[in-house]
Amino acid sequence: MLLPRLAYRNILRQRRRSLLTALSMGGGYLLACFAISLSWGTWGQLVELVTRDHSGHIQIHSGNYLNRPKMYKTITTDGEIERVLEANEDVVSYSRRVHSSALAYGDDRTTPVVVVGIDIAREVKTSQIGNKVKIGSFITNGPNQDGYYSALIGFGVADSLSLEPDDEIVLITEGADGSIANDIYLVAGIVGTKTSWEMNRVFLPLKAAQEFLSMSGRVHEYAILIEDTYESEEIAADLQNTISTPDVTVSPWQKVEETFYNSMRIDQQAMYIMLGVIIFMVCIGVLNTVLMSVLERTREFGVLRSIGTNPWRIMSLIFLESTILAILSCGIGFVFSVPLITWFAFVGIQMPPMDVGGVIAESMVGEYSLFVFVAPLIIVVTAAALVSIPPGIRAARITPVAALGSH
């Protein structure tokens, strides 16, 4: 009765150990799903916020304007670039812009500002500026009956100069031809907040800005919105090869918002380190379970060897056992991860405003996609299968005499 009782105890120990390992791998799968969903979801939200708010997914400039902006680095709007953009099915919308620094005057105050000329009809389809007017109204294309163009000013400019809608704002800067540019505009509205990217900007109709800066028929930038953010680099490369205008550079948002993108990559690297720690813990649990199982079944493997079982058959048996255990464990983790990831993706977590690479994040949301669930499955199952190889080799190399003589 002693041997059956010992065998029964061994079976119970193996089952308990397998159950604990299954829970460990299931927990590892759940943590991996959450980590991937958190990283991809939060940064995906911020990328959409940045690109659809003002920068666009792709920008076109003259030469190295993006890195070293100069007034004279312009693109002639002869229609060739517009034809390429309108013919491209991936392009949702685009807008033309001019940029310049200037000195702004109120009644008795001055402040440095950034002047941005925008193609109004296209800009409202490419960025969110039309939805961010806090006070007053949006600008119009033409001058009023007195010949004054309207201007949209950032909250910081309005606060520094104590301006309100219908007040006058004077802008002074250097034109593209070297002349002194100065003009008076009427404030139509105030846009953004004290911390938003518009805070120190003055927006003018494109025609008014071109006249002000002596840039008739020329712009500094094309901002482009596409359907799929993840294809920005491929589409930018395709546009670069298609546009025949000389000395034109097409840049995806990864280069336009380089600081933000670098912050994103650093955070994702931290996520990969965390995934590595999770997988390491899973591997330790699997290795312990499989190794103890091999040691406790040494005699069984000796019997299999004595009746002529191929060593590779024994090794594949242990490999298959570990793989099936990992798949079942991930199935357990999947049952618990689906409601958690669903809630996190569609509800999220509200948090205090935090500056991340120049972008203000106020919530954390996850990504809900097939990748979030499949990638951890592949990682956990592969790790468990690889870890089972050393114990499998040990079991395959057991000799019948040594195995049957073990205690």
Run means of pLDDT, 10 residues per run, the chain, 407 residues: 48 63 78 83 80 88 89 85 90 93 89 93 88 88 88 92 91 87 92 82 93 90 90 92 88 88 80 79 73 70 74 82 84 89 82 56 77 88 83 75 59
Query: Sign of torsion, CA 70 73 79 80?
Result: negative
Q: CB under 8 Å, gap of 24 or more: what pairs does 63-69 form?
A: 63/247, 63/249, 64/249, 65/220, 65/221, 65/249, 66/249, 66/251, 66/255, 66/256, 69/99, 69/220
State the pLDDT at residue 402.
64
State the pLDDT at residue 346.
83
Q: Which residues on neighbouring strands pair with residue 203, listed in sequence order?
A: 116, 152
Rounded to the nearest angstrom, the gap between the alpha carbon of residue 77 and the centroid of all alpha carbons in its chain is: 32
3-state helix, strand, coil in the chain (%, to 5): 55, 20, 25
Predicted TM-score (pTM) of the model is 0.75
State the pLDDT at residue 104.
93
Rounded to the nearest angstrom, the gap between the alpha carbon of residue 84 and the centroid of all alpha carbons in its chain is: 27
Rounded to the nearest angstrom, the gap between the alpha carbon of residue 78 and the centroid of all alpha carbons in its chain is: 35
Rounded to the nearest angstrom, the gap between the alpha carbon of residue 192 and the centroid of all alpha carbons in its chain is: 24
CB atoms within 10 A of CB 401: 11
State the pLDDT at residue 6.
45
State the pLDDT at residue 2.
40
State the pLDDT at residue 306.
75
CA distance 112 to 368: 44
Task: Write out the H or E segment, with its range, that includes residue 99.
Answer: strand 91-105
DSSP 8-state class, residue 145: T
By the 10 Å C-beta count (0-12 exposed, 13-18 middle, 19+ buried), 11 is classed as exposed
Taking each helix axis as running N to C, give the angle between helix 389-396 and helix 311-346, from 0 to 180 degrees, rounded to the nearest 10.
Answer: 160
Taking each helix axis as running N to C, give the angle between helix 258-296 and helix 2-50, from 0 to 180 degrees, rounded to the nearest 10.
Answer: 170
DSSP 8-state class, residue 344: H
State the pLDDT at residue 357.
45
